[in-house]
Structure 1
Amino acid sequence: MSTNVNLTVAIPGQNGTVATYSNPRSNNTSIATATIIGPNPSGHVYLDVKKVGSGPVNITFDYTGSNGVTRTMTWTFNFQ
């Protein structure tokens, strides 16, 4: 089972540009792993979180805006 999140919509670049995404990671790979997929032909990038076990897990990834500054974002998933 996996969950896909459309990063292109979740964190748009500034002034109509597209942000770039990298370095997806899980704080507990016995619960979930993460990869970044894309961009696809329409320019969308997805965070693919694959369930391995049950419980809460933090998925962290980096994104770089049009100004060249890289930031980190963490989302928490709770798999049953």
Structure 2
Amino acid sequence: MTKKTLYDLMVDHQDKIAKLQFYDMADQYFLTIGDWSMSLSESNATELFSIFKDDEQATFSTFNQRTSLIVTQKKNPK
């Protein structure tokens, strides 16, 4: 997944916030945008973490003892 793909999904689902978090019960990562969500493999999640590591619209934290990511679309992506 690329930045553009994520931002396009945010537009499609009419939300300015995307969350990527690990859920223990499902033992996988989920990308959530509004009421919509999709599961991601650990390698895809790691790729998104890498893509957004220096992005000013990204906030990293910990959720369920794993890295999590919140992307807030504050301006149009490049």
TM-score (norm: length of structure 1): 0.31
Looking at secondary structure, tell me which structure has more strand per residue.
Answer: 1
Looking at secondary structure, tell me which structure has more helix per residue.
Answer: 2
Bigger Cα Rg: 1
TM-score (norm: length of structure 2): 0.31
